[in-house]
Structure 1
Amino acid sequence: MKKLVFYTLLLLTTAVSAQIKTQGKNDGAFPTFYQQRSSLFRLLPQTKGDIIFLGNSITNGSEWDELFADPRIKNRGISGDVTAGVLNRLDEVTERKPAKIFLLIGINDLSAGTAPDTVAKNIFLIAKKVSGQTPTTQLYVQSLLPVNNTLNKFPTHVNKGEQIKRVNQLLRSNAALYHYTFVDLFPSFCNAEGKLDTLYTNDGLHQKGAGYMLWKHLVYPLVYDLQNKPSLIPLPQSLKWNEGYFQLYNCKTIVVKEASLQKEALRLQQKLLQKGLIVSIGRAAKNNEPFIELRLAKTDAPQLKEEAYHLEVSGQRVLLNANTAHGIFNGLQTLEQLMRDNTMIDACTITDWPAFAWRGYMVDVGRNFQSVDLLKQQIEIMGRYKLNIFHFHLTEDIAWRLAIKQYPQLTAAENMQRNKGEYYTEEELKDLILFCKERYITLIPEIDMPGHSAAFTRAFGISMQSDSGMVIVKNILKEVCETYDVPYIHIGADEVRISNKNFVPEVTAYIEKLGKKVIGWQPGGNFTNTTIRQMWMDDNGKIENNSEIRYIDSRHLYLNHMDPLESVVTIFNREIGNKQKGDSRALGGIICVWPDRRIENEADNLRTNPVYPAMLAFAERSWRGGGIPGWTAKIGSPGSENAKQFAEFEDRLMDQKQEYFRRLPFPYVAQASLNWKLYGPYENNGDLSKTFAPEDKNFSLNSATPVVQAVGGTIVLRHWWYPLISGVIEKPAENTTWYASTSIWSEDNHVQDFWIGFNNLSRSTATDSPKWGTWNDLQSEVWVNGKLIPPPHWKRGGQKGNSETPLTDEGYEYREPTKITLQKGWNQVLIKAPVGSFKGKDWQNPVKWMFTFITVPAGYLGWAAN
């Protein structure tokens, strides 16, 4: 009886399918179930920006929002529906202005006798209507799925194998013409005979649970605008994608035989539980089920074998081998990125090891205190990307942040200038050290001496370099060395006049006697050769060429000085320690955040500094090695090899942002596809307001030959540390004006958000705020379609820089984006960038000859205060 009803419904829709012009709310021409579903859809709240799955019973059969754990995903499947039915109710979908539509329709048309060419034409009409009614919606037309006639069900459907292939061929070949993306699901659902695999169906037509799991895996990257394969950061040294998938949802066991790996097995078990997957830990899998095995085994690597791992993913198992538990941990971080859809893992073979032994991140909590919770957030992310050194700068002129039992006055509120009374107790620091160790991260405490020690002087009324000061310093070091399980003590020793030449050598010998190794800043004090040097300035080869000294590179790796877009560029291009890989002396590098300027709240550490995007770029470079000799702030010219390599990395970076940083500050947008044409130099003789040919209405930007072409959202014309760091102009000259132009495509007329800036203020120096009515002090300007774009209404326009005045809206990344009305089609952008002298009025106000102009995706809220 049920079959009879189903066939009757199909016959009722046959006549309608030929009348493809039927549209609107003519639901009465369709079956009862169609009317029920369609009437409900029209009454549901009309939310915007949804992701719609549209089709017949095959679509109807899934709980899409639960499958993706995403309430934006809506089910618009109706059992028995045909192409005419979709057209009839399409207005309900397009009026929502969805972000995406995934359409799968046509098998019922074929079952009713409609020719394949007609089915395809009807789908093309659907595509045309979507494009016309909601042009910004991305339409994905999915192939018809295979059928299987061996199960003796739905005979008028499952005998349409050849017609299905014909429809799919037409859908594939006409995708560009009708402005949709064709998604070929068909091959993935076939068995060896080319029929719908019985793993996915029990009636030859519809999907079982396993089929929907595969479907999710296949369209997941399209739903979330990701690369087809999981984007791994850092990219493994050796990666090969293989055929097939590991069914993560069917995995019930983590196989571990070594007791030393139980901690890592528990770590993985917890991660899977967070994904809703319950697995046990045992010595063997049961009933031939898919399983994950962690195993200590010889893993070859050319260097740093203790961190190397080998990962093999097949249909039956995931095998992770390493020489040590640390290697297993590293492999688990990669494995978690491979599990991006929590459903299946693409088969692959990976062999991996780091290029540098030290891959670090430093925070300064002396000037601006950070809570333990915020520190743990950053350390957790360090571990995910295989960074292994947490440099903890605890003491400063502003405040001393580490409790010392013998000297409580050090952390007394009256001796602090900011965040008064905020410091770390012994228990808190021990907790942080343990938290780091659990992630194979070494915490390095820095107690700065004898410089950056005004807080010490306020507490005791004496200098560290005095005889009595030295006694106190040694008592402090003794307590720290005996209390905390850390292998290194960082003593700073930079930016100070050494009045006691015995201070640094004596302190170094004392720390080493207490069983710790010493690190100091270079240039810095009169260190012994046993001290590891952390380079913060160019040393002209003094340390690099000394065969007795080990060193860490932090030169031009201060994130607080970097424009967010430029930070990723310069760090990705960076050759750490001027080497392609580390050795016994070149240990690696540490990126640093020095927010000298007071911040409003601790969240601004991450909101106003490009911490996470830069951290991921550094994780890539410090793990993979390589890079470009010299320091550069440019991506490269369009089409260059450097630009291609950066674009490939940026694709992976944007996937990571989408997947793992949706609720965290991540001030970065894709910039590798934005090309600029630069015209100049025009001599302005110091008159920055002077106009030149590109501003003339008769000047054709499209036909003019550019002098330079550049890629990116931030274009550094001349870096403020030139010639140490190169920008896009090879030989920049004072008193010149340059123009830059680009074109931006828009599908319709709409208001678009943009990041626009001309002087990204360092979070360290006390730089002046821009003057009212200007973008910057260089009289820079920007036009879109000939319309001058006004600068922001600065909250503190023209205010003289003050280290105690927090930044509020001076940077494009932490103020509300500029809104510009774009017209349908191409929009012309023109930037004017004049410069006078390259000498700033003082060291805190350097001349930054640069500009930022780039589209910001809808819904970006990184500028908003937390």
Structure 2
Amino acid sequence: MLFKNIKLTVVVLLFVVVKGFSQNNYNLIPYPQQLAVQKGNFVFPSKIHVVGEQKLNKEVAYLRSLLSSYQIETAAKSGASRIELRLSADVKGEESYQLQVKPNLISIAAATPSGIFYGIQTLNQLMVLNQIGIHQKQIPALNINDQPAYSWRGSMLDVSRHFFNIDYLKRHIDRLAFYKINKFHFHLTDDQGWRIEIKKYPALTEKGAYRTFNNQDSVCMELAKENPDFEIDPRFIKVKDGKQIYGGYYTQQELRELVAYAAERHVEIIPEIDMPGHMMAAISVFPELVDGKIGWGELFSTPLCPCKEEVYTFVENVLNEVISIFPSPYIHIGADEVDKTSWEKSELCKAMMKREGMKDVHELQSYFVHRVQEMVEKKGKKAIAWDDALEGKINSDITVMYWRGWVSDAPLKAVQNNHPVIMSPTNPLYFDFFPDKSSLRNVYNMKVVYDNIPADKTHLIKGAQANLWAEKVPSENRADFLLFPRLTALSERLWTNKDIFEDYSNRLLAHYPVLDQMKVAYRLPDLCGFALESVFVKDAVLEVKNPLKGKNIHYTTDGSTPTAQSAVLPNNSLAITKPTTIKFGLFSKDGAQSKGDIYTVNYKQSTFATAVKPSAKLEGGLSCDFYNQPIDKVAKIAGKPDKQFLVSNIEVPKEAKAPQFGLKYDGYIEVPETGIYTFNLTCDDGGMLYIADRLVIDNEGPHSPIEKSGQVALEKGLHPFRLDFVEGGGGYTLLLQYSKDGCDAKNIPDSWFQRELK
């Protein structure tokens, strides 16, 4: 049956309880471009008539199955109330739609079936958020005019490092459709495993789909001692020749069924066969595809040899079968992280480079990409490559997927050469990077079009996608934790594209119960109202703000990690009268798989730091010393600075340009009143904050963007201030904020910073 699996997603939404929100709410994600509230409500009858023309048969069937999951039957004849699906040339845009909810009519109009489908998903969310079920039968009347800001709204899942079965992929596709994400980038092959059946080369899956446990598995096994989400999925472990091996693959029939399932939900699957690098799973089976030894170079694995014709025969045979399965107009060919040292040593490559007049191995990579691109285009497809391919000369027909966040000018170079570009920079769209309290905001506020893109080239930026690389993602629960709710933030950025983060974060609260019912093992929202390194003078009260009703904060004071069986933090607060360490976290009452961070708050007794009176005259701002040196930790900043700047606040000077560098900010901070101040330091790669000659925050690197917080007790007036920061390579983040009470951290006013005149 065409829609037999729809209940995997929608039936579980039937009895969602969203407490704390009005009955008629509009907590839609992504939020529509235009929503106008009308008078009255649409009341669902026990049976309803669904009308749609023949071109919309699939959408009509989808809607009927959706209504059935809410225990609403569809009738053959029109009654007093009906739902009407209608194609209309008046609605402009491939994915645009108009949704009208009147007291007796729900109407969805669009120019295409895709637009109709997204209107259905908005209706679906309205029904969920208004608790349509046995007891609740109405949704508010409204008019919505809606369309996406970007055509490419994507999610990439790597199934090579760790494997996920078809059932999970279908659930993932359902979730993408629910949030109007329309592209599923399917990373099918890499060094660690070949996951797609190729009938011409059965050994690719007979051997290449399985491996003995590797160093990434070992890391997961160690982490699993404290977090069961890191346990290697036992379904994909078997014994062969007396050894445990891990892996799996998809048959072509399974993939065709997955493609059809996704198409019903208007999700396009884009397959990736990564080449010429990241091919260890293939070349280990067919060593003739390289020239020389197979193994690992300084950074990456031995790539395919671009100077052997049998390599192109192999690639074309593989691509022919891949293309026969996936109807997407795109094929992703990788072209990233190619270790070219084996080519430099190859006599075959030296001879070819001389024969073809190539100056370096980058041109050899370009030659390979051109050859593969021709194969793809001969089959009527378009090629996508990672932005590494820009290092050589590639023609503008290739779509560039930008990931190297530290190469900030790559999107500009791509559009200058007229490449279509998909944005997926490491920060903030590598969802395997561990999420923290700033992650949602960073995703929501990301720039899809960088400021340096000329106005006449912005149309080449097609959208963005989040990437989940699975080196440390061995389970479905771990994948869910990293994907959600961040994917909802990306969904709204790419569809709505408006700067309304606080409004989004309030609406998101209504979606956590929805995710619970969908069995998503998401990351619970952050707790706030405290600093990880806290101080008190006489006594204090730890007051934790819990954003979700129905979930309790459990805590310990003996150093052990809290669980759902630990004591509940009474009234979300605790009196502090002596130095102590408290560990706590948010837990679901119903045993849901969702998880939150475990927080460790250290309380130390302190005194108010005495304000100082500098002997020299002061001016506004801070001194900033720039150290142009390879560095990844604050502790390694050494020697005399290469440049000195005056900055008005904690910001990286525009002149501080280097792959790796260190900064030392120095001066005074003037606080307006005596009190205990909380500071939040987010940095990538490392930072240390000192105020009144006291260490307030230790956020030493190297690491991706992480926020840490600390407190300091200050008298009103001036206090010595120092912040050390390092950028270790890969794109930096530096943000310092403060608060005195509550969760809302603020930017520090420029007027608070002063330095001695020199």
Contact 1:308/1:327, CA 8 A, preserved across alignment? yes
Cα deviations across residues 17-46 of structure 1 (Å, max 9, x unaligned)? xxxxxxxxxxxxxxxxxxxxxxxxxxxxxx
CA distance in 2, matches of 1:513, 1:830: 61
Q: What displacement does 1:473 show?
A: 1.6
Report the counterpart of residue 516 of structure 2 in structure 1. 661
The whole-number CA distance in structure 1 between the counterparts of 2:681 and 2:529 is: 17
Which residue in 2 is equivalent to 1:387? 181
For residues 578 and 519 of structure 2, what CA distance do their matches in structure 1 show? 35
Say yes or no: does 1:752 pair with 2:622.
no
**Residue 248 of structure 2: aligned partner:** 422
Task: Give unpaired runs (5+ residues) of structure 2.
Answer: 1-12, 214-235, 237-245, 291-303, 344-363, 562-572, 585-593, 604-675, 689-699, 711-740, 744-758
1:641-660 matched pairs, under 5 angstroms: 645-660=500-515
Contact 1:251 1:291 in 2 (8 A): no
What residue in structure 2 maps to residue 56 of structure 1? Answer: none
Classify 1:586/1:847 alpha carbon distance in 2 versus 1 (closer, same or farther; 3 Å): closer
Counterpart of 2:196 in 1: which secondary structure? coil
CA contact (8 A) 1:395 1:448 kept: yes
Q: Secondary structure at the match of 1:249?
A: coil
Distance 2:20 2:38 in 1: 23
Question: 1:586 is matched with which residue: 447, 461, 467?
Answer: 461
Aligned counterparts of 1:551 and 1:834: Cα–Cα separation in 2: 29
Pick closer, same or farther for the CA change 1:228–1:588 going to 2, 3 Å.
Answer: same
1:452 CA drift (Å): 1.0
Displacement of 1:571 in angstroms is 1.1
Question: Contact between 2:526 and 2:596, CA under 8 Å: does it hold in 1?
Answer: no
- Paired letter, 2:419: I
Alignment of 1:153-552 (within 5 A): 223=19, 225=21, 228-249=24-45, 252-256=48-52, 258-281=53-76, 285-286=78-79, 289-301=80-92, 305-340=93-128, 341-342=131-132, 343-413=137-207, 416-417=210-211, 419=236, 420-461=246-287, 462-463=289-290, 464-466=304-306, 467=308, 468-498=310-340, 499=343, 500-501=364-365, 502-524=367-389, 526=392, 527-538=394-405, 539-544=407-412, 545-546=415-416, 548-552=418-422
Q: TM-score, normalised by structure 1?
A: 0.53
Residue 851 (structure 1) aligns with: 708
CA shift for structure 1 position 849: 5.4
Question: 1:497 Cα deviation (Å)?
Answer: 3.1
Verify the 8 A CA contact 1:299 1:308 in the aligned structure 2.
no
Q: 1:494 to 1:240 in 2, by over 3 A?
A: same
SS for the counterpart of 2:501 is helix
In 1, Cα distance between the equivalents of 2:314 and 2:575?
63
- Aligned Cα root-mean-square deviation (Å): 4.2
Identify the residue that residue 575 of structure 1 maps to in structure 2: 447
% identical aligned pairs: 28
Give 2:105's aligned amino acid.
Answer: R
Deviations 1:116-172 (A, max 9, x none): xxxxxxxxxxxxxxxxxxxxxxxxxxxxxxxxxxxxxxxxxxxxxxxxxxxxxxxxx
Q: CA deviation at 1:331?
A: 0.3
Secondary structure of 1:339 counterpart: helix
The one-character-per-residue Cα deviations of 1:341-364 (angstroms, maximum 9, x if unpaired) are: 221010001000010001000000
Amino acid at match of 2:408: N
SS in 1 for 2:383: strand
Aligned mates of 1:662, 1:401 — CA distance in 2:
31
Unaligned runs of 5+ in 1: 1-67, 72-219, 628-644, 679-690, 703-740, 757-769, 771-781, 794-811, 822-827, 857-866
Rg larger for: 1
Rounded Cα–Cα distance in structure 2 between residues aligned with 1:493 and 1:324: 35
Partner of 1:27: none
- Residues 785, 831 of structure 1: alpha-carbon distance in 2 compared, 3 angstrom cutoff: farther
- Which structure has the highest strand share of the two? 2
Q: Which has the higher helix share?
A: 1
Determine the C-alpha separation between the residues in 1 that align with 2:252 and 2:119: 33
**CA distance in structure 2 between the partners assigned to 1:233 and 1:510 by the alignment:** 40
User: Helix, strand or coil for the counterpart of 2:86?
Assistant: strand
Number of residue pairs aligned between Structure 1 and Structure 2? 506
AA partner of residue 203 (structure 2): Q
Find the counterpart in structure 2 of residue 561 from structure 1. Answer: 433
Cα offset, 1:566, TM superposition: 2.7
Q: Which moved more, 1:614-623 or 1:467-476?
A: 467-476
Q: Which amino acid aligns with 2:514?
A: E
Describe the SS at the equivalent of 2:249: coil
Q: Is the 8 A contact 1:227 1:652 kept in 2?
A: no
**CA distance, structure 2, for counterparts of residue 360 and residue 472 of structure 1:** 29
Deviations 1:255-294 (A, max 9, x none): 22x2111221111111111111111255xx23xx111111
**TM-aligned CA deviation for residue 584 of structure 1:** 3.6
Secondary structure of the residue aligned to 1:479 is helix
- Do the aligned residues in 2 keep the contact of 1:234 with 1:385 (CA within 8 Å)? yes
The SS at the match of 2:181 is: coil
2:358 is matched with which residue? none
Q: Residues 244 and 563 (structure 1 numbering): CA distance in 2 closer, same or farther, change over 3 Å? A: same
Shift in Å, 1:844: 9.6
Whether the 8 Å contact between 1:753 and 1:855 is mirrored in structure 2 is no
Structure 1 residue 227: Cα displacement = 7.0
Q: Is the CA contact 2:581–2:600 (under 8 Å) kept in the aligned structure 1?
A: no
> CA separation of 1:751/1:276 partners in 2, compared to 1, >3 Å: closer, same or farther?
closer
Deviations 1:839-860, CA, capped at 9 Å, x for gaps: 89xx99538653389999xxxx
Whose RCO is larger (CA < 8 A, sep 6+)?
Answer: 2
Deviations 1:790-846 (A, max 9, x none): 4779xxxxxxxxxxxxxxxxxx9467787999xxxxxx9989989999389xx9953
Distance 1:245 1:833, change over 3 A: closer
Deviations 1:439-495 (A, max 9, x none): 111110000001111111211113222513332122211222234323111011111
* 1:722 equivalent in structure 2: none
- From the superposition, tell whether residues 659 and 549 of structure 1 become closer, same or farther in structure 2 (CA, over 3 Å): same
Moved more, 537-546 or 617-626: 537-546
Cα deviation 1:711-746 (Å, max 9, x = unaligned): xxxxxxxxxxxxxxxxxxxxxxxxxxxxxx976599
1:250 deviation in Å?
5.2
SS of 1:279's equivalent in the other structure is strand
Q: Specify the code of the residue in structure 1 equivalent to 2:537.
A: K
Q: Residue 393 of structure 1: SS of its match in structure 2?
A: strand
Distance 1:268 1:366 in 2: 35
The 3 A distance-change label for structure 1 pair 429 and 583 is farther
Q: Distance in 2 between matches of 1:323 and 1:233?
A: 22
Query: Using the alignment, how far apart are the partners of 2:709 and 2:525 within structure 1?
Result: 13
Code of the aligned partner of 2:113: A
Give matches, 1:681-760, under 5 Å: 695=535, 697-698=537-538, 752-753=553-554
C-alpha contact 2:269 2:326 (8 A) present in aligned 1: no
Q: How does 1:47-126 map to 2 (within 5 A)?
A: none
Distance 1:784 1:572, change over 3 A: farther
1:617 matched to 2:489? The reply is: yes
Q: CA deviation at 1:244?
A: 0.4
SS at structure 2 position matched to 1:485:
coil
Task: Give the AA of the match of 1:445.
Answer: P
Aligned AA for 1:648?
A: D
2:687–2:701 contact (8 Å) kept in structure 1: no
1:32-82, Cα deviation, whole Å (9 max, x unpaired): xxxxxxxxxxxxxxxxxxxxxxxxxxxxxxxxxxxx9869xxxxxxxxxxx
CA offsets 1:221-249 (integer angstroms, 9 cap, x no match)? 5x565675131111110001111001113
Could you list the per-position Cα deviations for residues 377-396 of structure 1 after superposition, in whole angstroms to 9, with x for gaps in the alignment?
01011111111100000011
